[in-house]
Structure 1
Amino acid sequence: MEPPGNMYWDLNSLNGIFNWTAWYRKDASLWLSYGSRLKLNTSKRHAASRQLSIRNFYKEKTKDFIGMISNCRDQAQRFKLVYKLQKYLNIDMFGRCYEKTCESGMKIENKSCENILKQYKFYLAFENSHCKDYVTEKYWNALKRDQIPIVNWKNIDEDIVIPKSYINVYDFNDVKSFVTYVKAVSSNETLYNSYFQWKLKYKDKGSCISCELCQKLHRNSYQRQVYSDLAGWISDDFCPKLTIVSEKIQIFKQWLWSFGIDMQ
């Protein structure tokens, strides 16, 4: 389930061993996605329409922006992005990388992280790597909490996510343009609620790797193969393979950004 940047062993030693692969990438033998969209049939669309007509997602939220980062490896430079956004937006950041958990950071009686997160309109679903097809539970869980995910995608095909369910920082020319737009969404009830119209067409059907494996094992037409160059296949990506040295540099940069020092 991890991107190439989190693989430190010698992948060449695995060449010629495996017939199939299971990964979040769609070119794997088995697509091990964190979530997947399912198009609703007519009857389910009618039921979804009735449910949506009695919901006002905007009024169900009492706070604006929240994010959680617990994996401090940062090939995608999301700490730097959060630092820039916090100059203009009031963002509550939690997780191991910020040394702030939901329980200790929020002085409320309910200690459930999920219940805390649900109070916010937007969730910063920033991935730690800009890798092919790498969309994790951050995005899918935000949808389950009826939030608008704010994402940092650069190499994601829209066919693996739900259209018009998120706001991508990199769809804007610069940070200020993004901030202007997201503030407008946050203050406009109609505009905010429009980001949940996807519920009329789709649902998250999740992922069942054992189901897919069982189906393909019973397909005689599924051609046998051997990954003779597993390392080459894994590295055929947009994102670089992170090394121990570059990881230490990223952690050092993160420490500088926490003090407001921007080192390019």
Structure 2
Amino acid sequence: MTINYYGTIVIATLDIFSGKHLRDQQYLLKFPGGIFLFDLIQEAEKNKFLVMGLDEFKNGKESVKPAYLVSDMGIGLECCGDKLSPGILWALESPIVSTRFYNSLNKITEKFPITLLWSACNERVSQKSNFEAIFWPNHNYKNKIFEGNKEGIVAVTAYKRHLRLIWIPSKLNLYGIIRAVASMVLHAPRTVWIKFNDPWVHRDNTNNKFNLIKEVGLSTKLDIYGNGWDKTSYFKNSKEMMNVIKKCYKGVINGGVKQKLETISKYKFCICYENIKLNGYITEKIFDAIQSRVIPVYSGAPDIENYVWPCSFINADKFSDVKALVTYINSLSLETCEQILHCGERYLNSDDYSKLSSKNLAKKFINKLKALA
């Protein structure tokens, strides 16, 4: 039977999500946010779009006009021409990690009719592009919840500072100056300029996360999981931090998102610190904790309470300092903890949460593309 397609969607994202992986739900479930790609394809095909990966398009897979590029951070833009038009520009990566992309948003978004990004990005998007805010694509993973005695605090977070092209010292000591100068010598002048002058870089929340981890690690049971924490040379300017990492670091959680949530569920609290403080920049961290029936200790988006019920988490940004925060955490009664957890359960079943679902985001993408076609 011949299908009358609306058009073609070419998905351009990281190489780990090639065309052959885009329909593999189990593979995509291994990655935070990966399930969104599966939901996007399901929604696209339901609405009679032909879907393929950028690699398949490059290899000559037959497409149906009009063909639109759905691009993660501008990937694949060089392939646009007679057979492929720019469609949607989107991204889930942090402005701290992908600084050059976010710094160049105005120029990049001039080429796309639609831009779907964190709400704070509106100030940088070209007026030639139709901007709409999006949120982290959440999914009900139906993970197993640990029902035993929960205690301690967990941090499941990658240490990404070592991945950045330019290292900015938190203190102007000799060690920090040497590291900063080395970064300048090793990397492009434009990147150096961006890292030291872009105001978003200075909303970096990493040091606040370090301070909480150090305070908790010295006084309370803390376990840390994630990539990069074994790079202890990055903590040489803080012996206390090095000792905490050596004591608390448990390695990387293998097995995908479900295994991560099952690990989180064994603890009482979860450190959920975004790596930047921007309106609308709310990633999976707080939702992972709530789904795992663990109390989130959150720091990040100033407007978080517009999207996540305030009764379902501890807002670390409301405390005067890290000592006051840790004192409060340690003072919580069992009754108060249960109230926070119960609020989280109600939130997961609310319309407020469903608006942030992966399926809802997929529908938004397809509706935008249907309007283009």
Look up the match of 2:135. Answer: 33
What is the number of residues matched between the two proteins?
193
Contact kept? 1:73, 1:128, Cα under 8 Å: no
Contact kept? 2:282, 2:304, Cα under 8 Å: no
Provide the secondary structure at the position in 2 that maps to 1:196: helix
Mean alpha-carbon deviation: is it higher for 66-75 or for 135-144? 66-75
What is the TM-score of this pair, normalised by structure 2?
A: 0.45
Q: Which amino acid aligns with 1:3?
A: S
Shift of 1:124: 0.6
Q: What CA distance in whole angstroms lies between the structure 1 residues aligned with 2:304 and 2:329? A: 22
1:212 corresponds to 2:364: yes
Question: Residues 149-200 of structure 1: CA distance to partner in whole angstroms, max 9, x if unpaired?
Answer: 1111352241122221111222112222212211122xx2211100023233
Shift of 1:34: 1.4
1:8 corresponds to 2:100: yes
1:200 corresponds to 2:346: yes
State the structure with bigger RCO (CA 8 A, min sep 6), 1 or 2: 1
The 3 A distance-change label for structure 1 pair 79 and 175 is closer
Look up the match of 2:161. Answer: 73
Unaligned ranges ≥5, structure 2: 1-91, 123-129, 139-144, 163-203, 231-249
Question: Residues 14-69 of structure 1: CA distance to partner in whole angstroms, max 9, x if unpaired?
Answer: 25212211113275834331157xxxxxxxxxxxxxxxxxxxx9974422201022
1:91 corresponds to 2:227: no
The 3 A distance-change label for structure 1 pair 172 and 15 is closer
Q: Which amino acid aligns with 1:142?
A: A
The 3 A distance-change label for structure 1 pair 85 and 201 is closer
Question: Residues 71-129 of structure 1: CA distance to partner in whole angstroms, max 9, x if unpaired?
Answer: 4239212223322332332211121122342569xxxxxx9443322110111111111
Provide the secondary structure at the position in 2 that maps to 1:66: strand
Look up the match of 1:142. Answer: 289
Larger Rg: 2
CA RMSD of aligned residues (A): 3.2
Look up the match of 1:232. Answer: none
Contact kept? 1:58, 1:121, Cα under 8 Å: no
Q: What CA distance in whole angstroms lies between the structure 2 residues aligned with 1:103 and 1:81? A: 21
Contact kept? 1:34, 1:137, Cα under 8 Å: yes
Provide the secondary structure at the position in 1 that maps to 2:223: strand
Q: What CA distance in whole angstroms lies between the structure 2 residues aligned with 1:63 and 1:161? A: 24
% identical aligned pairs = 21
1:127 corresponds to 2:274: yes
1:178 corresponds to 2:269: no
Q: What CA distance in whole angstroms lies between the structure 2 residues aligned with 1:102 and 1:119? A: 16
Contact kept? 2:280, 2:301, Cα under 8 Å: no
The 3 A distance-change label for structure 1 pair 174 and 166 is same
Q: What CA distance in whole angstroms lies between the structure 2 residues aligned with 1:163 and 1:91? A: 24
The 3 A distance-change label for structure 1 pair 24 and 60 is farther
Shift of 1:218: 5.3
